[in-house]
A and B are shown apart, each in its own frame.
Chain A
Amino acid sequence: MILFIEQILNGVQIGLLLFLLAAGLTLVFGIMDLVNLAHGSLYMMGAYFAAVLTKLTGSFFLGALLALPAALLLGIVVEVVALRSLYSRDHLDQVLATFGLILFFNEAAQLVFGVAGMTIPLPEALQGQIQILPGLPYPTYRFVVVAVGLICALFLYWLVARTRVGMLIRAGASNREMVGALGINIARLYTLVFGLGAALAALAGLMAAPITTVRVGMGENILILAFVVIVIGGIGSVRGAFVAAFLVGLLDTVGRAFLPDILTLFINPIQAASLAQGLSSMLIYILMALVLVVRPAGLFPAPGR
Chain B
Amino acid sequence: MALKLTPTRVVAAVVLAGFALLPLYAEIVGNSFVLSLGTRILVMALAAASLNLILGYGGMVSFGHAAYLGVGGYVVGILAYHGVTSAWVQWPIAVGLSAVVALVIGALSLRTRGLYFIMITLAFAQMIHYVGVGLYDYGGDDGLTLNARSDFGGLPNLDSRPQFYYLCFALLLVALYLMYRLVGSRFGQVIRGSKSNDARMHAIGFPTMRYRLAAFVIAGAVCGLAGVLLANQADFISPATMHWTRSGDLIVMVVLGGMGTLMGPVYGALTVLALEESLSSLTHYWKIIFGPFLVLVVLFGRGGIAGLISRWERRK
CB neighbours of A286 from chain B (8 A): 127
| Chain A positions 60-108 with a Cβ under 8 Å from a chain B Cβ | 82, 85-86, 89, 91-93, 95-97, 99-108
Q: Contact check, B134 vs A279: say whether CB atoms are below 8 A apart.
A: yes
Within 8 Å of chain A (Cβ to Cβ): is B79?
no
CB neighbours of B251 from chain A (8 A): 92, 95-96, 99
Question: Which residue from A96, A235, A278 sits with its C-beta under 8 Å from B133?
Answer: A278
Give CA–CA (A159, B122) in the complex, Å: 32
CB A74 to nearest CB in B, in angstroms, measures 15
1/0 per residue, CB under 8 A from A, across B188-209: the answer is: 0000000000000000000000
Q: A95-B118, A296-B111 are in contact. Are A228 and B123 (CB under 8 A)?
A: yes
Q: Contact check, A107 vs B285: say whether CB atoms are below 8 A apart.
A: yes
| Chain B positions 269-316 with a Cβ under 8 Å from a chain A Cβ | 285-288, 290-295, 298-299
Q: How many residues of A contact B (CB 8 A)?
A: 49
Question: Which residue from A92, A271, A279, A288 sits with its C-beta under 8 Å from B123?
Answer: A288
1/0 per residue, CB under 8 A from A, across B120-163: the answer is: 10111011001111111100100000000000000000000000
Within 8 Å of chain A (Cβ to Cβ): is B61?
yes
CB neighbours of B174 from chain A (8 A): none
Q: A111-B288, A274-B134, A275-B134 are in contact. Are A100 and B294 (CB under 8 A)?
A: yes
Q: Contact check, B118 vs A91: say whether CB atoms are below 8 A apart.
A: yes
Q: A92-B255, A292-B120 are in contact. Are A278 and B298 (CB under 8 A)?
A: no
Q: A99-B252, A103-B290 are in contact. Are A228 and B119 (CB under 8 A)?
A: yes
Closest chain A residue, CB of each to CB of B245: A220
Give CA–CA (A72, B290) in the complex, Å: 25
Within 8 Å of chain A (Cβ to Cβ): is B114?
yes
Q: Contact check, A282 vs B131: say whether CB atoms are below 8 A apart.
A: yes
Within 8 Å of chain B (Cβ to Cβ): is A270?
yes
Within 8 Å of chain A (Cβ to Cβ): is B96?
no
Give CA–CA (A132, B46) in the complex, Å: 58
Interface centre among A278, A279, A288 (most CB of B within 10 A): A278
Question: Which residue from B122, B130, B248 sits with its C-beta under 8 Å from A281?
Answer: B130
Give CA–CA (A278, B161) in the complex, Å: 36
Q: Contact check, A296 vs B292: say whether CB atoms are below 8 A apart.
A: no
Closest chain A residue, CB of each to CB of B300: A85
Give CA–CA (A138, B61) in the complex, Å: 44
Within 8 Å of chain A (Cβ to Cβ): is B180?
no
Give CA–CA (A86, B300) in the complex, Å: 11
| Chain B positions 77-126 with a Cβ under 8 Å from a chain A Cβ | 108, 111-112, 114-116, 118-120, 122-124, 126
Q: Contact check, A96 vs B294: say whether CB atoms are below 8 A apart.
A: yes
Q: Contact check, B130 vs A282: say whether CB atoms are below 8 A apart.
A: yes
Closest chain A residue, CB of each to CB of B251: A96
Q: A104-B291, A110-B285 are in contact. Are A288 and B134 (CB under 8 A)?
A: no
Question: Which residue from B118, B130, B298 sits with its C-beta under 8 Å from A35?
Answer: B118
Within 8 Å of chain A (Cβ to Cβ): is B267?
no
Q: A274-B134, A275-B134 are in contact. Are A97 and B140 (CB under 8 A)?
A: no
Within 8 Å of chain A (Cβ to Cβ): is B244?
yes
Q: A278-B134, A282-B130, A282-B131 are in contact. Are A103 and B124 (CB under 8 A)?
A: no
Give CA–CA (A97, B300) in the complex, Å: 11
Give CA–CA (A197, B293) in the complex, Å: 26
CB B75 to nearest CB in A, in angstroms, measures 18
Q: Contact check, B288 vs A82: say whether CB atoms are below 8 A apart.
A: no
Within 8 Å of chain B (Cβ to Cβ): is A293?
yes
| Chain A positions 119-157 with a Cβ under 8 Å from a chain B Cβ | none
CB A173 to nearest CB in B, in angstroms, measures 14
Question: Which residue from A227, A271, A279 sits with its C-beta under 8 Å from B122?
Answer: A227
Interface centre among B120, B244, B286 (most CB of A within 10 A): B120
CB B297 to nearest CB in A, in angstroms, measures 8
Give CA–CA (A72, B127) in the complex, Å: 33
CB A81 to nearest CB in B, in angstroms, measures 10
CB B195 to nearest CB in A, in angstroms, measures 11
Q: Contact check, B119 vs A281: say whether CB atoms are below 8 A apart.
A: no
CB neighbours of A235 from chain B (8 A): 115-116
CB neighbours of B248 from chain A (8 A): 99
Q: Contact check, A274 vs B118: say whether CB atoms are below 8 A apart.
A: no
Q: Contact check, B134 vs A96: say whether CB atoms are below 8 A apart.
A: no
Interface centre among B118, B123, B137, B288 (most CB of A within 10 A): B123
Q: Contact check, A289 vs B140: say whether CB atoms are below 8 A apart.
A: no
CB neighbours of A103 from chain B (8 A): 287-288, 290-291, 294
CB A78 to nearest CB in B, in angstroms, measures 11
Question: Which residue from A95, A104, A224, A285 sits with its C-beta under 8 Å from B287?
Answer: A104
Within 8 Å of chain B (Cβ to Cβ): is A231?
yes
Q: Contact check, B108 vs A275: say whether CB atoms are below 8 A apart.
A: no
Within 8 Å of chain B (Cβ to Cβ): is A277?
yes
Question: Which residue from A96, A110, A275 sits with its C-beta under 8 Å from B255?
Answer: A96
CB neighbours of B135 from chain A (8 A): 274, 278
> B: which residues have CB within 8 A of A?
55, 61, 63, 108, 111-112, 114-116, 118-120, 122-124, 126-127, 130-137, 140, 244-245, 248, 251-252, 255, 285-288, 290-295, 298-299
Q: Could you list some 16 contacts between A and B, CB below 8 A?
A: A91-B114, A92-B255, A95-B118, A96-B298, A97-B299, A104-B291, A104-B292, A107-B285, A107-B288, A220-B245, A224-B123, A228-B123, A274-B136, A277-B130, A278-B132, A288-B123
> A: which residues have CB within 8 A of B?
29, 35, 82, 85-86, 89, 91-93, 95-97, 99-108, 110-111, 220, 224, 227-228, 231, 235, 270-271, 274-279, 281-282, 285-286, 288-289, 292-293, 296-298
